[in-house]
């Protein structure tokens, strides 16, 4: 065993996005690529000498090999200790929890979240701060700057560390603690929720189906839902994590979780259905013949969180990402809660959570969470839903009907145009940006534009400013369309178009969302020239 210094040169494009650095797996496996980025993290956080970190990932292809490289580099750079999930596996919320309860100096999570995995698909690495949340832009900028200047990295030349057995070992003086990836997370969930009430619900003939999508949440859901709460064996399906997610796309939405959708919309469908994604931080909620949009789910959880012991004293406040529907705002207004609107990216919720401004937050992209960790948390959302169902003794459909009757319904959909040529996507946004001042007062597809702007965010805690976070078009009557380019893909650009309208008439609250939003969809296409710029007549995904 020896420490060696490897000479290297900067590699272009190692700029972390909203959730770390994501590239094709073969790119990360290229010479020096992973090592350069890890060294840049060390530099960006002021070194790792004497520090304790958490390490784990979602089990996708290259997860095991990358973990060994990171451990050897941490040891060579003088880290004191690394807490690793068994077999280098940790869901993202579980990793956040481990960082927090152990008071570590942060952690490295190996994941590309909901992106597909495998040798020809995606891999990712991100650094999470000592609060358990994703690194803010100040830190990711330092990491990127370091990646442009890196000239060498230190690494131990040694055999692999055995990560299959729980316990402690050491590498070149650095302690390595291999932990059960589920245990501490499960203990936290038991503190937050009424497990006795959920057990009674699941023992009453109430049937659930949780689709882990061959991803990291499988072992967590099996342990909590089946073994602890008593759901019948087989309630959790696709529960064994796979390096390529069973050849599927681990994104919990109606398109990629089609097997679950078919089951839930059958005549013999279960009472409750849910899915989570690659790294366990997203969720999809369904009832029998009912799909609950992520925006509606967030609003329902905010309205009913007090039924769970962890939130029985009420919420401090709530927050949503700007493209998320304003259904949450209606709940907040009715309950007298502060409601914050942030840019897309979970890291923007961190300051609000740390400052005690909010207890619950979420994004339209199937991410919801609370102040229990500093990441979104898919299984947490499922358990909160089950807690609410157990106490209210209503079906998912009845809860949704009651919610809309009380607060109104925000019809909502997101249209994704994937892998658009980057120059075409940028041209669309630039053209749209250039006519914002002239849009108000114009009529488009039967709607009148009331407001048009580009969203910018001034953080109320640290005063930081974040601009160019999406273009918003507001129409008279409460409808709106939002346009932004996503930073989570690895090929081209994904144009996301968010469409929303408000309905307060109970007689009109049960329409198909795409039909209810037809005018908004047409107006969005006309205003932005989507077909003209992209050549696409339909989005790749509708959620």
287-296 per-position pLDDT tens digit: 999 999 999 9
Question: Do 279 and 422 reside in the same domain of the chain?
Answer: no
Q: Which of 151 and 490 is assigned the larger pLDDT? A: 151
Helix H or strand E encompassing 276: strand 272-276
Question: Do 95 and 197 reside in the same domain of the chain?
Answer: no
Question: Do 479 and 521 reside in the same domain of the chain?
Answer: yes
CA dist 28 to 35, 158, 196, 336, 365, Å? 9, 21, 45, 48, 26
Cα-to-chain-centroid distance, residue 306: 23
C-alpha–C-alpha distance, residues 293 and 337, integer Å = 22
Cβ–Cβ under 8 Å, residues 233 and 246: no
pLDDT higher than 80, residue 143: yes
Q: Which residues pair with 425 in a beta bridge?
A: none
Question: Do 165 and 237 reside in the same domain of the chain?
Answer: no
Q: What would you report as the CA-atom Rg of the chain, rounded to the nearest whole angstrom?
A: 23
The pLDDT of 456-471, averaged and rounded, is: 94
Instruction: Please enumerate in sequence order all residues whose Cβ is within 8 A of that of 361, keeping only pairs 6 or more positions apart, or say none.
Output: 318, 319, 320, 340, 349, 352, 353, 368, 369, 370
Q: Which residues pair with 107 in a beta bridge?
A: 54, 128
Active site residue 113: yes
Residue 360: closest CA among 300, 329, 316: 316
Question: Do 228 and 373 reside in the same domain of the chain?
Answer: yes
C-alpha–C-alpha distance, residues 441 and 449, integer Å = 5
The pLDDT of 32-59, averaged and rounded, is: 98
Domain that holds residue 106: 2-180
The pLDDT of 74-101, averaged and rounded, is: 98
Pairing of strands 122-128, 107-110: antiparallel
* CATH code of residue 6: 3.40.120.10
Taking the CB of residue 493, how many other CB atoms lie within 10 A of it? 22
H helices present in 104-228, as ranges:
137-147, 183-192, 195-202, 217-221
Q: What is the pLDDT of residues 417-432, one digit of tens each?
A: 998 999 999 999 999 9
Q: Is 127 left (phi over 0), alpha (psi -120 to 50) or beta?
A: beta
Q: What is the pLDDT of residues 504-539, one digit of tens each?
A: 998 899 899 999 999 999 999 999 999 999 999 899
Q: Which residues pair with 2 in a beta bridge?
A: 157
| Tokens 């007689």 belong to residue | 507
Question: Do 346 and 421 reside in the same domain of the chain?
Answer: no
pLDDT higher than 80, residue 491: no
Which of 377, 407, 437 delimits the end of a domain? 407
Question: Do 277 and 400 reside in the same domain of the chain?
Answer: yes
Backbone angles phi and psi of 21, in degrees to 5: -100, 125
C-alpha–C-alpha distance, residues 104 and 315, integer Å = 27
Strand ranges across the sheet with 493-503: 443-444, 447-454, 471-475, 480-486, 493-503, 409-420, 541-542
pLDDT higher than 60, residue 490: no
Strand ranges across the sheet with 339-342: 339-342, 318-321, 360-363, 367-370
Cβ–Cβ under 8 Å, residues 154 and 5: yes
Which of 129, 161, 180 delimits the end of a domain? 180
Q: Which residues pair with 532 in a beta bridge?
A: none
Indicate the pTM of the whole model: 0.94
Question: Do 398 and 423 reside in the same domain of the chain?
Answer: no
Catalytic residue of the set 19, 77, 113, 365:
113
Question: Do 450 and 484 reside in the same domain of the chain?
Answer: yes
C-alpha–C-alpha distance, residues 21 and 17, integer Å = 6
State what percent of residues in the chain have pLDDT above 90. 94
145-159, 327-341, 445-459, 489-503: segment of lowest average pLDDT: 489-503
Pairing of strands 174-179, 167-171: antiparallel
Question: Do 157 and 127 reside in the same domain of the chain?
Answer: yes
The band of 347, judged by pLDDT with boundaries at 50, 70 and 90, is: confident
3-class SS at 448? Answer: strand
* CATH code of residue 538: 3.30.310.50
Pairing of strands 2-7, 152-157: antiparallel
C-alpha–C-alpha distance, residues 377 and 93, integer Å = 6
pLDDT higher than 60, residue 489: no
The pLDDT of 205-214, averaged and rounded, is: 97
pLDDT higher than 60, residue 488: no
CA dist 86 to 64, 124, 181, 358, Å? 11, 19, 6, 33
State the pLDDT at residue 54. 98
Mind giving me the DSSP string for 49-86? TT-EEEEEE---TTHHHHHHHHHHHHHHTT-SEEEEEE
The band of 541, judged by pLDDT with boundaries at 50, 70 and 90, is: confident
Backbone angles phi and psi of 245, in degrees to 5: 55, 40
Pairing of strands 318-321, 52-57: unpaired
H helices present in 123-194, as ranges:
137-147, 183-192
Which of 356, 381, 407 delimits the end of a domain? 407
The pLDDT of 471-478, averaged and rounded, is: 96
The pLDDT of 108-133, averaged and rounded, is: 96
CA dist 109 to 20, 176, 292, 508, Å? 9, 16, 29, 45
Residue 65: closest CA among 161, 182, 193, 147: 161
The pLDDT of 294-322, averaged and rounded, is: 98
Cβ–Cβ under 8 Å, residues 53 and 79: yes
Question: Do 386 and 442 reside in the same domain of the chain?
Answer: no
> Total domain count for the chain?
3
The band of 487, judged by pLDDT with boundaries at 50, 70 and 90, is: low
Question: Do 397 and 447 reside in the same domain of the chain?
Answer: no
């Amino acid at each position: 065993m020896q420490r060696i210094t490897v000479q290297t040169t900067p590699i272009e494009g190692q700029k972390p996005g909203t959730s770390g650095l994501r590239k094709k797996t073969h790119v990360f496996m290229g010479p020096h690529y992973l090592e350069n980025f890890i060294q840049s993290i060390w530099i960006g956080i002021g070194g790792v000498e004497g520090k304790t970190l958490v390490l784990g990932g979602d089990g996708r292809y290259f997860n095991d090999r990358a973990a060994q490289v990171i451990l050897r580099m941490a040891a060579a750079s003088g880290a004191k200790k690394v807490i690793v999930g068994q077999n280098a596996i940790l869901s993202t919320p579980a990793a956040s929890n481990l960082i927090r309860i152990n008071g570590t100096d942060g952690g490295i999570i190996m994941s590309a979240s909901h992106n597909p995995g495998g040798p020809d698909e995606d891999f990712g690495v991100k650094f999470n701060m000592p609060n358990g949340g994703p690194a803010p832009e100040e830190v990711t900028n330092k990491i990127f700057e370091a990646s442009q200047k890196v000239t060498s990295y230190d690494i131990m030349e040694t055999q692999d560390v055995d990560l299959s057995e729980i316990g402690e070992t050491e590498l070149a003086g650095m302690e390595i603690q291999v932990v059960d990836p589920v245990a501490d997370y499960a203990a936290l969930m038991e503190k937050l929720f009424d497990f006795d009430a959920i057990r009674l619900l699941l023992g009453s003939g109430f049937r659930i189906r949780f689709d882990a999508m061959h991803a990291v949440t499988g072992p967590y859901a099996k342990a909590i839902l089946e073994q602890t709460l008593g759901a019948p064996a087989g309630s959790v399906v696709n529960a064994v994590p796979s390096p390529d997610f069973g050849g599927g796309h681990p994104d919990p939405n109606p398109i990629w979780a089609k097997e679950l959708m078919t089951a839930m919309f059958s005549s013999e469908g279960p009472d409750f259905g849910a899915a989570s994604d690659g790294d366990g931080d997203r969720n999809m909620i369904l009832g029998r013949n009912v799909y609950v949009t992520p925006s509606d789910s967030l609003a329902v959880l905010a309205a009913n969180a007090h039924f769970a012991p962890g939130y029985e004293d009420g919420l401090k406040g709530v927050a949503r990402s700007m493209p998320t529907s304003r259904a949450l705002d209606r709940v907040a207004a009715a309950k007298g809660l502060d409601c914050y609107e942030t840019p897309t990216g979970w890291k923007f919720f961190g300051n609000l959570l740390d400052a005690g401004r909010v207890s619950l937050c979420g994004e339209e992209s199937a991410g919801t969470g609370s102040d229990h960790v500093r990441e979104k948390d898919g299984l947490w959302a499922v358990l909160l839903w089950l807690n609410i169902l157990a106490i209210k003794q209503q079906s998912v459909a009845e809860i949704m009907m009651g919610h809309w009757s009380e607060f109104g319904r925000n019809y909502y959909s997101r249209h994704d145009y994937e892998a658009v040529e980057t120059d075409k996507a940028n041209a669309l946004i630039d053209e749209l940006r250039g006519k914002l001042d002239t849009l108000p007062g114009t009529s488009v597809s039967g709607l009148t534009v009331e407001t048009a702007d580009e969203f910018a965010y001034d953080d109320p805690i640290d005063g930081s400013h974040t601009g160019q976070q999406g273009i918003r078009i507001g129409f008279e009557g409460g409808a709106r369309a939002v346009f932004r380019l996503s930073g989570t893909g690895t090929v081209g650009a994904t144009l996301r178009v968010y469409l929303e309208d408000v309905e307060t008439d109970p007689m009109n609250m049960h329409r198909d969302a795409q039909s209810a939003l037809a005018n908004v969809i047409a107006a969005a296409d006309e205003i932005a020239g989507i077909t003209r710029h992209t050549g696409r007549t339909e989005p790749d995904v509708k959620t």
